[in-house]
A = this chain, B = another copy of it.
Amino acid sequence: MALEVFAVEGYRGTSLRKVASLCDLSLAGVMHYFDSKEDLLVQILRERDARNEISGTIEEQEGRLADILGQGHHEPGLIALYVTMAAAAADPEHPAAAYFHERNARLLKISEDSYYADKPAPSAEELQYLHAVTRMVLATADGLQQQWLVDRSIDVVGTMKLLMEQTHEATERKLETLRAAAADA
């Protein structure tokens, strides 16, 4: 699909009629494939995620995340679309709501699975802590991109690396504490 073409180049107040003409189609020709404009926009995000699949070990994932964030600098339109849809997803009825719920659950699971691939199963307390940390890292990635839209001089990748560095230290320390406490009991 050439859906992304227009969105990559620039998502502003792009109307469906402009999209249609860029695809050498008429308005209804476009609407035949989508339930609504919002649905179209969300599907663009879905396709981007499909391209940016994440896998591998935690270290590989974090490197991949940094790559994706850096690559995003070439498609500000998609970043703006992502942020806009996140706001729209405040309404549970909006198609973006389902998208973000699925996405968050998927990312959380990927992170969890890879972290415990070569480790013994975690305690419930450990798992809860790791979920919180993962959500924090993902939130920072989102927030940095949001700020980058406003100020393109912000170093998204560098700041993420700063966060990951300090998070690794803190997490290792915390998990050791938790395990020691569990061993005592």
Taking Cβ atoms with an 8 Å cutoff, the residues of A that contact B are 12, 76, 79-81, 83-84, 86-91, 97, 100-101, 104, 132-133, 135-136, 138-144, 146-147, 149-151, 154-155, 158-159, 162-163, 165-167, 169-170
A159 to B167 alpha-carbon distance, docked (Å)? 13
Residue among B101, B141, B150 making CB contact with A104, cutoff 8 Å: B150
Known: A80-B90, A83-B87. A133 touches B162 (CB 8 A): yes
Most buried by B among A81, A87, A132, A163: A87
Known: A133-B162, A159-B136. A101 touches B150 (CB 8 A): yes
Cβ contact within 8 Å between A100 and B140: no
Known: A136-B163, A162-B132, A170-B166. A146 touches B91 (CB 8 A): no
Cβ contact within 8 Å between A104 and B12: no
Cβ contact within 8 Å between A83 and B146: yes
A103 to B159 alpha-carbon distance, docked (Å)? 20
CB of A127 to closest CB in B, whole Å: 15
Cβ contact within 8 Å between B139 and A143: yes
A90 to B147 alpha-carbon distance, docked (Å)? 9
